[in-house]
Amino acid sequence: MKLKYYCSLLLFLSLNVYAQNAKFEISPYLSGVTSIKDGMLEAGAQFKIRSLIIRPYFRLPLTDKKNSLTQIDRFAETWRSVIAVEYIKDTTKDSEYIQRFMGTFQGEWGYSNFKFCPTGKKTEESSEAKNSFACEIKLVWFRSQGKPSAKQFSPQIRVRYSNEWKSSDEVGVVSSPNSSGVTYTTNMVIDKPTSLPIFSPAFSFQYYPGNGKLSYAPTVYFDLNGKINSYNPFNNLGRIRIELWTFYYPIVKGTPNIQIGVAPFFSIRTFGKDNLRQVEYGGQISFRVGATFLQFF
């Protein structure tokens, strides 16, 4: 089974571009939030109660990313309703260490109606409604001595499980010869939709040495998927992906927090079969605006 997101591995350099967020205050504890990220429009509200932030929102696709970093980058072909709960504990005082912990839980749900023609005739269309869902946990820790040229560390963990239903691919159906003896082909979906369970834990270690405009983030992903139309993500294919990111932060007045990243990567199949070689390698570039050192996953 070939994971779609590995299509990007075949490119030597894939480019990820992120857009900015917008937030507007409705009351001291409630804000409206919109963002465009990875081809997805997100819109919703944000409640802040002391160290807890609760964000219910909708996510809608803006572009077709079928052959890109799907699932792992939270891309979904259909709309999603999302609830995210974020907890922050910051122990920084007015001197000495700067230390911060952030934990986020996110649940996603979407409902789609898929149409297909099992008999190969458009007039005999069937449909099935399916629920897709995903959940994700992120833990981010940051620590620095809080003085000039001090090293900065931020280990980060992200664990995500998703089970998303997708329409089957279109195929060409050959018609019966008409009265002139001409046959033609019509493209249509004839198979039922399928779901794929994916489990992807990931660990990254962000590091800034205290001088210069570069930070580093070695990252390991373990991407697992299960058999089609099941919930178990552990019985079909496993790949470990190692990315060695170097980020550059240019100083551009009026546009803070620009982050340009470059990473070689290696992907190693640990079990199962896919259409790729057991070891794949390549590179990635990312360009982000409005992203801080702490925002990796």
Partner 1 sequence: MRTITLSLEPIAGGITLFYAFVNGERVIQDDGSKKRVWEGQIPDSQVKVKVRVIGIDAAQYNLGIDLPGTANDQSITFSLEGGYHEIEILL
| Min dist. Cβ of residue 147 to partner 1 (A) | 6
Binder to partner 1 among 172, 183, 212, 275 (CB under 8 A)? 212
Interface with partner 1 (CB under 8 A), residue from 98, 157, 188, 268: 98
Q: Which two tokens stand for residue 157?
A: 């963990």
Q: Which is nearer to partner 1, 206 or 236 (CB)?
A: 206
> Among residue numbers 151 through 170, which ones bind partner 1 (CB under 8 A)?
152
Judged by CB under 8 A, which of 24, 94, 181, 275 binds partner 1? 94
**Which residue stretch of 108-116, 160-168, 277-285, 287-295 sits at the interface with partner 1 (rule: CB under 8 A)?**
287-295
Q: Which residues 21-40 are close enough to bind partner 1 by CB under 8 A? A: 21, 23
Vertex 66: Cα angle to 166 and 203 (nearest 5): 95
By beta-carbon proximity to partner 1, the closer residue of 144 and 235 is 144
Q: Say whether residue 215 binds partner 1 (CB under 8 A).
A: yes
- Residues in 30-89 that interact with partner 1 by CB under 8 A: none
Residues 5-24 that bind partner 1 (CB under 8 A): 21, 23
**Strand 98-116 with 170-174, pairing:** unpaired
Provide, rounded to whole angstroms, the least separation between the CB of residue 118 and partner 1. Answer: 50
Contact 133, 110 (CB under 8 A): yes
DSSP for the chain, written as a single string: ---GGGGGGGSSEEEEE---EEEEEEETTEEEEEEEETTEEEEEEEEEETTEEEEEEEEEE-S--TTSSTTTT---SS-EEEEEEEEEEE---SSS-EEEEEEEEEEEEEEEEEEE-TTS-GGG-EEEEEEEEEEEEEEEEEEE-SSTT--EEEEEEEEEEEEEEEPPPEEEEEPPP-TTS---EEEEE-SPPEEEEEEEEEEEEEEE-SSSSEEEEEEEEEEEE--TT-S-TTSSEEEEEEEEEEEE----TT---EEEEEEEEEEEEEES--SS-SEEEEEEEEEEES--TT---
Give the bridge partners for 80, in sequence order: 59
The binder of partner 1 chosen from 19, 139, 150, 240 (CB under 8 A): 150
What the block records as the tokens of 271 is: 């079990």
Closest to partner 1 by CB, 147 or 273: 147
Closest approach, Cβ 293 to partner 1, in A, equals: 4
Cβ proximity to partner 1, 7 vs 294, nearer residue: 294
Sign of CA dihedral 116, 119, 120, 124: negative
Site for partner 1 in 223-282 (CB under 8 A): 249-259
In the complex with partner 1, the residue whose CB is nearer, 22 or 285, is 22
Options 35-43, 117-125, 141-149, 279-287: segment touching partner 1 (CB under 8 A): 141-149
The two three-digit tokens of residue 210, written as one number: 């205290």
Among residues 71 and 259, whose Cβ is nearest to partner 1? 259
**CB-nearer residue toward partner 1: 181 or 212:** 212
Q: How far is the CB of 49 from partner 1 (least distance, A)?
A: 15
Contact positions vs partner 1 (CB under 8 A): 21, 23, 90, 92-94, 98, 100, 142, 144, 146-150, 152, 208, 210-213, 215, 249-259, 290-295
